[in-house]
Chain A
């Protein structure tokens, strides 16, 4: 089981030939939009969704009737027809929803890209809207009492009766094993949240803009679920993000610099549950991130050294840090040492990460804000812009069926 992962040898003989890939270099992200990110929006998710979509349509220089496809998460609480009717989109001919929560963050991009690449549709808008801070918080243990008392996903029935709830705790189990196997220290882990918080200080849209932390603040912050502290956790957010996908050919006639999709990939390796990935031979790594990364590099025909900037989905610090290993930015088990002091992951470092502040310090819009930041890095409009970006990587949630994209300049 998972022989490729265990042996670290990704086979390419049984995979679709790269030259048959219809997405590679033929599709682009052309418009981005978002609402304000807050801790209490006082607005419903429909209102935020349509605001972010309108902003993306305007950003691209399109008209609402140009949009003929729509893509969202299955776990979004909105009914898609209501979104379409509110925006007055008269020409929708393609709709799709992708499952697996944050693991779908780049899968929606891939599905939208596949739809435009095959000619099924011209312009697909992808969006995510959530009141995670003020609304129903699935990240909180007590919320389970209200709406998750009966296991709705069979594998949770082996965990919930033991008070084993929340993504943070499920990840804590593989995080603790990773720390144990490789001698990772709390001091090392702390550099990830500290660097992301630094990035948020230049981003006026970040929730934690104006609220810097030091490494000492991290060390002194309260333990939430051992081994994870307060500053290891993402920031529950109210807000929405949207972006528009079309062919490169059409993109060149629009007003923005296109962020061309060099590669898009999904992964769902064996024994993939939702965070409780404990039946795998190895639980100290992020198997789904490795598979998605290998497929991205195979399609893009590039390696980790070619990536200029990366937005790595970090619902908790360790979920981002271990991705550095799985994507080849450092050796396996070396990510603790790699991020010590923070320079390797700062702008100007070996691989600048989560330049908007990431899910820890900008906002938790289920990875959609990471896709938007990945596009800004290609456009040259990030508030923490990396010089001369050619390739910009974005990944999706770890511990769940996952996905990723590599964007490039046209």
Chain B
């Protein structure tokens, strides 16, 4: 579960030429991942060349199932080290997707104390603002 403190802006994703398609898809409530079809390799973060074959014309965007498992996590419990736009406590989870790519995000309707490594989760989207959509992770049946 994540709740925000009103009046403090949330830091925005950094959008550049290399990840524009990733965040455009998020805006449409879809998750896409960069993939090199020559190497059959997923790349995250997205980049302008496949580091395995050094090709630039083999990169494509593939839809992701958005399903995965919690690989690791932290709980923010004191205001000293937390970002003030978030109500305490809040968790950040590292999710390993079925494609093998790992993403960080907040959780939806999961109490920080109930999180465990291996918990099955799936992605969901939330429009934060007219021009910012983020994702978070909710429980799913394993």
**Is there a chain B Cβ closer than 8 Å to A79's Cβ?**
no
Among residues 118 to 164 in chain A, which have CB atoms less than 8 Å away from a CB atom of chain B? 139-142, 144-145, 148-151, 154-164
Contact A149 B11 (CB under 8 A): yes
The residues of B that contact A278 with a CB separation of less than 8 Å are 71, 94, 102, 104
**Is there a chain B Cβ closer than 8 Å to A75's Cβ?**
no
Which of A150, A156, A177 is in CB contact (< 8 Å) with B72?
A: A177
CB contact under 8 A between A225 and B102, given known A161-B10, A162-B92, A173-B94: no
Contact B13 A157 (CB under 8 A): yes
Contact B105 A162 (CB under 8 A): yes
Which of A156, A158, A173, A224 is in CB contact (< 8 Å) with B81?
A: A224
Contact A151 B13 (CB under 8 A): yes
CB contact under 8 A between A176 and B74, given known A157-B15, A225-B81, A278-B102: yes
Contact A177 B71 (CB under 8 A): yes
The residues of A that contact B51 with a CB separation of less than 8 Å are 270
The residues of B that contact A158 with a CB separation of less than 8 Å are 13, 45, 103-104
In the assembled complex, the Cα of A327 lies from the Cα of B51 at a distance in Å of 28
Minimum CB distance partner of A276 in chain B: B104
**Is there a chain B Cβ closer than 8 Å to A169's Cβ?**
yes
CB contact under 8 A between A168 and B81, given known A162-B134, A174-B72, A270-B51: yes
In the assembled complex, the Cα of A160 lies from the Cα of B85 at a distance in Å of 11
In the assembled complex, the Cα of A227 lies from the Cα of B91 at a distance in Å of 11
**Is there a chain B Cβ closer than 8 Å to A223's Cβ?**
yes
CB contact under 8 A between A225 and B83, given known A164-B104, A278-B102, A279-B102: no
Size class of A's contact patch?
Answer: 35 or more
Contact A283 B72 (CB under 8 A): yes
Which of B11, B72, B90 is in CB contact (< 8 Å) with A180?
A: B72
Contact A224 B72 (CB under 8 A): no
Give the number of residues in B that approach A within 8 Å (Cβ atoms): 46
Contact A151 B81 (CB under 8 A): no
Among residues 221 to 254 in chain A, which have CB atoms less than 8 Å away from a CB atom of chain B? 222-227
CB contact under 8 A between A223 and B44, given known A151-B12, A163-B82: no
The residues of A that contact B63 with a CB separation of less than 8 Å are none
> Between A and B, how many residue pairs show CB distances below 8 Å?
138
What are 25 residue pairs bridging A and B, where the CB atoms are less than 8 Å apart in the complex? A141-B79, A141-B82, A141-B83, A142-B79, A142-B84, A150-B12, A151-B13, A151-B14, A158-B103, A163-B76, A163-B90, A164-B74, A164-B83, A168-B81, A169-B74, A169-B76, A169-B92, A173-B73, A173-B74, A173-B92, A180-B117, A224-B81, A225-B77, A276-B104, A278-B94
**Is there a chain B Cβ closer than 8 Å to A172's Cβ?**
yes
Residues 81-114 of chain B: 1 if any A CB is under 8 Å from the residue's CB, otherwise 0? 1111110001010100000011111100000100
The residues of B that contact A174 with a CB separation of less than 8 Å are 72
**Is there a chain B Cβ closer than 8 Å to A166's Cβ?**
yes
In the assembled complex, the Cα of A151 lies from the Cα of B106 at a distance in Å of 18
Minimum CB distance partner of A168 in chain B: B81
In the assembled complex, the Cα of A173 lies from the Cα of B44 at a distance in Å of 17
In the assembled complex, the Cα of A177 lies from the Cα of B94 at a distance in Å of 10
The residues of B that contact A148 with a CB separation of less than 8 Å are 11
Minimum CB distance partner of A160 in chain B: B11
The residues of A that contact B2 with a CB separation of less than 8 Å are 162-163
**Is there a chain B Cβ closer than 8 Å to A347's Cβ?**
no
**Is there a chain B Cβ closer than 8 Å to A165's Cβ?**
yes
In the assembled complex, the Cα of A163 lies from the Cα of B106 at a distance in Å of 8
In the assembled complex, the Cα of A70 lies from the Cα of B122 at a distance in Å of 52
CB contact under 8 A between A161 and B12, given known A141-B80, A145-B84, A224-B81: yes
The residues of A that contact B16 with a CB separation of less than 8 Å are 154
Which of A225, A279, A283 is in CB contact (< 8 Å) with B74?
A: A225
Residues 62-73 of chain B: 1 if any A CB is under 8 Å from the residue's CB, otherwise 0? 000000000111
Most-contacted residue by chain A among B10, B12, B92 (CB, 10 A) = B92
Contact A144 B81 (CB under 8 A): no
In the assembled complex, the Cα of A164 lies from the Cα of B95 at a distance in Å of 14
A308 to chain B, nearest CB (A): 35
The residues of B that contact A225 with a CB separation of less than 8 Å are 74-78, 81-82
In the assembled complex, the Cα of A101 lies from the Cα of B14 at a distance in Å of 21
In the assembled complex, the Cα of A142 lies from the Cα of B79 at a distance in Å of 8
In the assembled complex, the Cα of A150 lies from the Cα of B51 at a distance in Å of 27
A154 to chain B, nearest CB (A): 5
**Is there a chain A Cβ closer than 8 Å to B53's Cβ?**
no
B72 to chain A, nearest CB (A): 4
Most-contacted residue by chain A among B13, B16, B77, B132 (CB, 10 A) = B13
A274 to chain B, nearest CB (A): 13
A219 to chain B, nearest CB (A): 16
In the assembled complex, the Cα of A224 lies from the Cα of B89 at a distance in Å of 11
